[in-house]
Every structure is written in structure tokens, then in C-alpha cells.
Chains A and B, each alone.
Chain A
Amino acid sequence: MRSRIFKVLKEKAHDNKKIIMGFTIIAIMVFIALFAPLIAPHNPESIDLTNRVAAPTQEYPLGTDHLGRCQMSMLVFGLRISLVIAATILFVRVILGATLGLIAGYFGGSLDQLISRIIDFELVFPDMVLALVLVGTLGPGLPNLMLALSIVGWSKYARIIRSTVISVKEKGFIESARALGVSETYIMQRHILPNSITPLIPVMTLGLGGLLLSVSGLSFIGLGVEPGTPELGMMIKSGFEVFPSHPQLVLVPSLMIIACVTGFTLLGDGLSDLFDPRKSSSFIASCL
């Protein structure tokens, strides 16, 4: 399966500008995030009140914020933390959605009915409002933020997996496997799941971009990470306190978020063109 995906990618990716641009941006971001401790000139959390909102110097390439923290280091570590948070939440969502979608699609019947109703209910509510309410009830902070965003937003993955599973399970090779006496769990793990994963890839890519927006948005309104954490949304929030006299403190982390999300959107968009060029637009709209 994996080799097939790569083959398609190799054949077609070189003439898809969106994929190349998106991939390049993301590669740079991931590189920065991975080597953050080597790139950052200072400790992102060390406060120096004698050197507040300083202009860029050789020592502080992007200047300092209103607490004298090195803006460059915060940006680099902020990117790392934001990406890790978003990727973790995405992982949980996909696992949750894929499991429920797989069960619903494979077994059908009343189990499918029940799960589909839950999916419909979840789809109606915007992730942001549900997450906001959950964070509000559980209290602000990173663990609660991650929990809240993980238990919402899985329904689109469940829906995609469910519909692909339904189409895959009617294929001849599944029938043959069952005739050979292979167990249901084995068929699901070995045959159904790998064949249903491909349509998820563009959705996941777009979803990661959307998550970066949600995480930073929640941090920005004060319901995300603890104050002082070098996370992009939190940097914007603390920059907002001295806005608009020092706009760079808000604009630089904002640019970082825009670059990241644009990267994921370009890549996701390109990939969905690649996998299924005739895909309906509403499908893509539901991904972000």
C-alpha cells in the first residue's frame, strides 16, 4: 500500500506546484522545530526586565518582547510546541475517528446507525465552540486544551473511513479471505484498514493546518497553554498587551502561523487533487 502511494506521488508530484510549495514550507518548519535548541540563540523563557521590547540586535535577531525574552528563541520553540500539540491532537482524532468509522462501516446494522447519529451530532457543532465549552468546564491549561480538541473534530475522519470501508468490504478479495476462514479482526486489520487509509491523507494534512489555527486561537483568548509558555498563540496574546505600540510582537508570530498553515493547505490541496481530481468541493470544505 505504502509503495503504491509513493509511486503515485513520484509520478505526479513533480508537476504539481502546490505540492512542491507546500512540502518545501513544511519541510523548513519541521527542520526548525526539530533543531530548535540549536537554532534558538537564548533560553525562550528567560526574562530580562532591563532589556524590554528592544529592537533587533546581533544578540537578539528579532529583538525582545515586553518581558525581555528573546523573540527569536520564543518563535523557534513556539513553532516546535505548536506543531507538537497540533500533531498529537490530530493523531488522537484520527485514531478515534478511524476506529469508530471502521466499526460502523464494517459491521453495519444498528451499531452503524448509532455511530452515524453520533457523527451527525458532532458534525453539526463547530469544533471551536465545543472545545471552548469543554476547556471552560475542565479549566484552562494545555492538558485540558488537548483533551477538549481531541474529543471533538474526529467525525469527518469517521465519516470518510466509514464510506470507504463500505465500498472496500464488498470487494472480491475480502469475500475470498472470509471463505478461507480468516477471522473478522484479521480481515479488518490486514485488508480493510490499509485500503481505507489513503483518502484520509489529504484530509489529515488540511486538518493539521486547521488545528494550528484552533490551538493558537484558543491560546489567544486565554483558554489554551499557561501564560509564559512559548507557544505561537500565547506569544500573540502577550504581544497583544502592548499592541498597537509594538506591532512586531504580534505580527512576527502571526506570520509564522500563516506560513505553517499555508504550507499545510497547499500540500493538502495538492494531494487531494492528486488522489481524486473529481472530488466534490464540499468534501474539501469540510476538512478545514
Chain B
Amino acid sequence: MWMLITRRILAAILTISFLSLFVFSFLYLVPGDPAERILQARMNGELPSSRETVGVLKHDMGLDVPSYVLYLKWTEGVLHGDLGYSYITRRPAATILYESLQATAELVFVSISIVVIFGLSLGMLAAWKEDSRIDNLLSYLAILGVSIPSYVIAFVSILVFAVGLHILPVAGRSGMQSMLMPAVSLSIGGLAMLMRMTRYDMLAEMRQDYVLAAKAKGLSEARIFIKHIFRNSLPPLITYIGLELGGLFSGAVIIENVFAWPGIGRLLVDSVQSGDVPMVQACVLLIGVIFICINIIVDILYTYIDPRIKPEGIL
């Protein structure tokens, strides 16, 4: 177990270094001198007007060096929590990121709870009542749920609950009420997918021999269903829930823009649109690290639930 965890963490460090290289290369993808961009970020977004001053400053700060040295310096800064300064607001990127992360984390937490609670229970219901009317209805609803863009659910719910019935606020972040529509719109797709998967996996598990053996032993249907079938179909579902947690972060990019939710997704789009490179780098780095952490946790949980599995891979 500890072997596995150590290996996972080492692998994650490797992936994070990959990621940091990728993020650092953004500086080279946008027009202009990368060293000047770093300088600009350190100088609160403004470069001195004279070329000589820029040159002297670059030399003083040790920025007139080859790109790999620049990368190492940048990494050192990141490790000390220095993500540079936003070009637009001129505040430290780390601070802005922290504020946005709170808003997104709230939204994602509520959404993943909706996904897990309803996805698993509806999936179990469909598997329990296989080929009944309710199973058929749920399976078509699931296909629809996967195919509806989250923002369409958002529009319809705004029309009904905010404009029509006046019971929920149209947008913004002010308490639980404002959370309801964004969280539901964000979770429908994942919910539908998890429901389908739960049904599939449980049906596959029901056809196993041990189920027959358990029945022959005289265990009750419900007990077999929950204690054996459900438990054994959990590992792939947990992997999916982990992936979906990541998916919610990217789904939040769109939903946060519809509801003016002040989270990372909105920050990322705004920064991308205004060419605020340090902010974009900070957002991508953070989202990447979150993803990698989720992956490690999922893998460890996976072996915990099903000790037969020895996962291989680097992430």
C-alpha cells in the first residue's frame, strides 16, 4: 500500500513538472520577449518606456539568461507561492486565484454531491427494475441528459425560476439560493452518465456466478443487491466519479459565465480574453494540480476497495 502511494506521488511530481513546462511555454506562444513578460509581471504590469532601462532591469533581475534558466527561476518562484502579478488588476495572481478557488470549490462540491447521490440511486433503481417501464424511461432521460448542453439547462431554469416564478436570483453569488441553479445545471450531464454506468456495471455484476451462489444460500434479494452487487460494481464507478470531479471544473468554465459566478472558470475566460498571461498560467497550473491530486486519490481508493487490482500507470 505505502509502496503504491509513494510510487503514485513520485509519478505525480513527474507529471506536474511536465505540466509546469507546458504552462511556462505559454510565455513563448504569445508575441513578445518572454523575459520582458516576466519583468512586466514583476513590475505590476508596466514596463519602463526606455529600452535601456528595460535592459538594465532585465540584467539586474537575472532575466537575460537562456530559457531553461528562466524556467528554473520561474519554477522557484511558483514553489514559493509567487505566481506573478495580474496585468489587469495588478494584484498577486495567487491571491486572486485563492478567492476564485473558494467560489468554484463551493459550486463543484454541491454539484458532485448531486451527481453522486442521484446518479448512484437512480442507476441502482434502473438496474433493480431492469427492462421495466421505469428503466426504459430512465435510460432515455439519461441519453437526453448527456446530450443537453449545460448552458441550455441554465437558460431554461433562469426562465422558469428567476424570470417566471421569481423564486431564485438570476445570477451572482449570494448564499445557498444563488447556488441552486448553477449547481443543478452543472451536474445534469455527469448525473446522467453516472446513472447509465451504475446500471451497466450492476447488471454485469448480477450475471456473475457468486450471485447465484448467494441466492442458493438463501440470502435476501435486497441484501445481495446492496452488500454484494453494489459493492463489487463500485471500483469503476469511483474512477468515473473522480474523472467527473475534474469534468465539473471544466464544465464550470461555461456555467460560471452564464451565472456570473466569480470562480476559476470565469477568471480563466476573462484572463484569456484580456491576454493576462500570469493569470492564465496560474489558473491552468492550479486546475492541473487539482486533477493530478484527484487522480492519485482515486487510485488509492480503488486499491482500497478492490485489493485484487494493482493499477499501473504514471498519473
Contacts and interface: CB of A to CB of B under 8 A. Distances in A.
Physical interaction between A and B: yes
Interface residues of A, number: 49
B254 A220 contact: yes
Contact of A265 (B18, B143, B170, B201): B143
B9 interface: no
Contacts, number: 139
Interface string A256-288: 011001101110010000000010111011001
B34 interface: no
Contact of B155 (A121, A251, A261, A284): A251
Contact of A223 (B26, B163, B197, B272): B272
Contacts of B236: 280-282
Q: Interface extent on B, as a size class?
A: 35 or more
A258 B152 contact: yes
A121 B315 contact: yes
A222 B270 CA distance: 10
Contacts of A236: 151
Contact of B29 (A117, A132, A138, A266): A138
Contacts of A285: 193, 196-197, 240, 243
Interface in B121-176: 143-144, 146-149, 151-152, 155-156, 158-159, 162-163, 170
Given A121-B315, A282-B236, A223 B273 contact: yes
A213 B271 CA distance: 23
A281 B246 contact: no
Contact of B250 (A128, A136, A257, A284): A128
Given A257-B152, A261-B147, A221 B269 contact: yes
Q: Which of A117, A136, A254, A264 has the most CB of B within 10 A?
A: A136
B110 interface: no
A264 B146 CA distance: 11
8 contacts: A126-B291, A132-B269, A220-B151, A221-B257, A251-B152, A265-B147, A281-B236, A282-B236
